[in-house]
Chain A
Amino acid sequence: MNNKNRLLIFTALAVYGFLYLPLLIVVVYSFNDSKLNAEWVGFSLKWYDKLFHNNEILSAAGNSLIIAGISALVATVLGTLAGMAMYQYRLKVLPGLVLAPIAMPDILMGVSLLLFFIMLNMSLGLISIILAHITFCIGFVALSVQARMSGIDRSLTEAARDLGANPWQCFRMITLPLLAPGILAGALMAFTLSIDDFVVTFFVAGVGSSTLPLQIYSMVKIAVTPEVNAISTLLMLLTLILITLVARLSPGALRS
């Protein structure tokens, strides 16, 4: 191990520290025996107990996971196609259409989609939320995939073609594995954006289709109570478990 590596690792660890510092507060205070989230009073599991008796919040968490899972999946497929297309061809319309939803303020997107859905006479619920989330996630995946593609050796696919592989085989055997880290990064971003979105969801959610952020915002008028910390901690764990399971069940799906 040389100096450069040590400096690099030290900086990276410091950045991890920066990422986890507030998280430590979230997790620790979820076990705090005080409503105020301000100083440590004593250890307690009461917020978790309270949480498990709160059906509203549990079903909202279930909704959030379903919405984030489906939105991330669809956005990843569409975003990957868009990213590949943007890199391979000189397109006029698509790059702008991919960028603009990232640039559009959430509120405008929420209001415009709400007006659009109502114009179509579509009932508001999980479907309208998923459609909206996919819209703002595509760009993140596309840019990530595009950044991965640039510099990938075209000669590889050309060589495969020369050896008689059809375009699908080419894509499946060569392009896709090469793109995997970009797709994985994009999928993670899409999942994160979806599971955390409040503004757009507020507008396009219908009666009775609450998500966790909506539920949490309704609870934080009196600052964040430890119950919110508890559900955040659990959601993080649950997501981690789900993703690990998916990775285990389909080896290679998440492999770089």
Chain B
Amino acid sequence: MKKLLASVLLMTLAPLAMAVEQLHLFIWNDYIAKQTVEDFEKSCNCKLVQGYFTSTEEMMAKLLAGASGYDVVVPTQNAVQALAKQGFLSALDKGKLANFKNSDPAFLKRSYDPANTFSVPYAFTTSLIGYNEQQLKKLGISPDNWSTIFDPKVLEKLRGKITVLDDADELFAAALKYLGYSVNDRDEKHLRQAQQVIIKAKPYWAAFNSSSYIKELAVGNIWVAHGYSSDMVQAKNDAKAAGRNFSIGYALPKQGAVLALDNMVIPKDSKNKALAHQFINFMLDGKNAAALTNEMGAGNPNRAAAKFINAEIKQQKAIFPDTATLTRLETIEATDARQRRLLSKLWTEIKIK
């Protein structure tokens, strides 16, 4: 008994006892390869301690309440904008980021941080449609169109076999795109139109689902899912590994879609900025960046990574959009309190209709 207690205690206290330098990373779950973590720990002779969040909102809620102690955070672009305006972020010292030159200019100098003062791109995903290739072929539905999830005529054939993201921002963005507006259109009239589109389509959907659609797709319980590109890669691989008699595909709707660009930033109150820079520089290295794509299926904003990326993944336009595709993708911008309030009201109305 005493031994058991001692070992439990040891397990918990071990990181303290070693007293090596620590880097505290606050990041999306499952968003850094295990090997990369080990390589970094070896190179800096330090310990990488990760905290996880599963949505931008969770992360913002925690940081806005004043939680501190993180050295590097990996937020999506609209959160970068919000955090920077609130004065949460410390300016990056580009002199310490030799690998910054690897970043693809197409992903730099965007409106959320025009001079990349606070942020450098880490990886990106797109929001698109994942589908069961055989079932959709049988039904004669072409998945590269938002009508697949919004048009009742199409949905008639998919009733109960489709899930959409449980996320007001993403779903409204998709509906706005379907209507031909920008994902950042905040005109109340247009948002109400989008709300109507969603309400009309809702009876055909099985669920709002942001968490288990990968599995539901790979098992065959649903045929169409609105979700993130990296997840669809996962679903495709899972279905293949399980030896299903169907395969999973994914397509970017031709009306255009949301691009979510995740960035590395350093909070103002980081206690170890030198190590934080060291980490960011490490992740900008081509080989380390490539692991994100090979293991997680994330899109890669790093030019030096290209030669390390598996050939099969490189051909996927949904993950590696060419210039023409890239112009159809939009990033969601930060919203102010009034806009969020309106969106929240519209969303609640949808949910209880």
Residues of chain A whose beta carbon lies under 8 Å from any beta carbon of chain B: 34-38, 41, 56, 58-59, 62-63, 65-66, 111, 114-115, 118, 123-124, 202-203, 205-208, 210, 214, 217-223, 242, 245, 249
B 234-260 contacts with A by CB, 8 A: 234, 238, 241-242
Flag whether B206 is at the interface (Cβ < 8 A): no
- B212 within 8 Å of A (CB atoms): yes
Within the complex, which residue of B14, B62, B238, B241 is in contact with A202, where a contact is CB–CB below 8 Å? B62
Chain B: minimal CB distance from A213 (Å): 12
B65-105 near A? 1/0 per residue, CB < 8 Å:
11101100000000000000000000000000000000000
Whether B202 sits at the interface, judged by CB under 8 Å, is no
Q: Are A208 and B24 in contact (CB under 8 A)?
A: yes
B215 proximal to A (CB < 8 A): yes
Please tell me if the beta carbons of B219 and A218 are within 8 angstroms of each other in the complex.
Answer: no
Partner of B8, one of A37, A65, A220: A65
Hey, which chain A residues are within 8 Å of B24, CB to CB?
207-208
- B215: A residues at CB distance < 8 A: 36-38, 222-223
B51 to chain A: which residues have CB within 8 Å?
Answer: 205, 207-208, 210
- A223 contact from B11, B12, B66, B212, Cβ within 8 A: B212
Q: Are A223 and B8 in contact (CB under 8 A)?
A: no
Q: Is the CB of B54 within 8 A of A66?
A: no
B12 touches A217 (CB 8 A): no
Q: Establish whether residues A207 and B49, one from each chain, have CB atoms under 8 Å apart when the complex forms.
A: yes
Tell me the bound Cα distance from A207 to B25 in angstroms: 9
Q: Please, how many angstroms separate the alpha-carbon atoms of A222 and B12 in the complex?
A: 27
Contacts of A58 in B (CB 8 A): 11
Contacts A111-B65, A115-B65, A206-B67 given; indicate if A221 touches B14 (C-beta within 8 A). Answer: no
Decide if B58 is an interface residue (CB 8 Å cutoff): yes
Q: Does B107 contact A (CB under 8 A)?
A: no
**B67 smallest CB distance to A (angstroms):** 7
CA gap between A62 and B49 in the complex, in Å: 16
Q: Nearest Cβ in chain A — how far from B129, in angstroms?
A: 18
Q: Please judge, given known A-B contacts A59-B15, A115-B65, A249-B1, whether A222 and B234 are in contact too, CB under 8 Å.
A: yes
Residue of A nearest to B216 (CB): A223
Closest to B71 in A: A207
Complexed CA–CA distance, A221 and B238 (Å): 14
Q: Decide yes or no whether B211 CB sits under 8 A from chain A.
A: yes
- Give 6 closest A-B pairs by Cβ, nearest first: A218-B52, A223-B215, A218-B29, A207-B69, A62-B11, A118-B66
* B175 adjacent to chain A (CB < 8 Å): no
Q: Knowing A59-B14, A66-B8, A118-B65 touch, does A208 contact B54 (C-beta < 8 A)?
A: no
CB distance from B52 to the nearest CB of A (A): 4
Q: How far does the alpha carbon of A221 sit from the alpha carbon of B55 in the complex, in Å?
A: 10
Q: Is B30 close to A, CB under 8 A?
A: yes
B14 contacts A222, CB within 8 Å?
no
Whether the pair A208, B22 counts as a contact (CB closer than 8 A) is yes
Pairwise interchain contact B67-A35, C-beta atoms closer than 8 A: no
Please name all residues of chain A whose beta carbon is closer than 8 Å to the beta carbon of B67 when the two chains form the complex: 114, 118, 124, 203, 206
- Is B61's CB within 8 Å of the partner chain A? yes
Given contacts A36-B215, A222-B215, contact A206 B69 (CB under 8 A): yes
Can you report 29 A-B residue pairs in the complex whose CB atoms are below 8 A from each other? A36-B219, A38-B215, A38-B218, A38-B219, A56-B50, A59-B12, A62-B9, A62-B12, A65-B8, A66-B9, A66-B12, A114-B65, A115-B66, A124-B67, A202-B58, A203-B62, A207-B24, A210-B51, A214-B52, A218-B29, A218-B52, A218-B54, A220-B211, A221-B30, A221-B211, A222-B214, A222-B234, A223-B211, A242-B4
- How far is the CB of A130 from the nearest CB of chain B, in Å? 13
**A35 contacts which chain B residues (CB < 8 A)?**
238, 241
- CB contacts (< 8 Å) of B4 on chain A: these are 242, 245
CA distance A205 to B62 in the complex (A): 10
Instruction: Give CA–CA (A57, B70) in the complex, Å.
Output: 20
Cα-based distance from A111 to B26 in the complex (angstroms): 18
The answer to whether B212 and A124 have CB atoms under 8 Å apart is no
Q: Residue B170 at the A interface, CB < 8 A?
A: no
Bound CA span A245–B8, Å: 15
Least Cβ–Cβ distance between B61 and chain A, in angstroms: 7
Residues of chain A within 8 A (CB-CB) of B50 are 56
CB distance from B273 to the nearest CB of A (A): 15
Give CA–CA (A61, B215) in the complex, Å: 26
Instruction: List B contacts of A218 (CB < 8 A).
Output: 29-30, 52, 54
List of A residues within 8 angstroms of B285 by Cβ: none
Q: Which residue of A lies closest to B234 (CB)?
A: A222
Which of B10-43 touch A at CB < 8 Å? 11-12, 14-15, 22, 24, 26, 29-30
Q: How far is the CB of A109 from chain B (nearest CB, A)?
A: 13
Whether A36 and B242, one on each chain, are in contact in the complex, defined by CB atoms closer than 8 angstroms, is: yes
Q: Is the CB of A222 within 8 A of B30?
A: yes
Complex CA distance for A36 and B69, rounded to whole angstroms: 36
Q: Shortest distance in angstroms between A160's beta carbon and chain B's nearest beta carbon?
A: 35
CA distance A211 to B81 in the complex (A): 31
Chain A residues with Cβ under 8 A from B65's Cβ? 111, 114-115, 118, 203
| Bound complex: CA A27 to CA B70 (Å) | 36
CB distance A111 to B61 under 8 Å?
Answer: yes
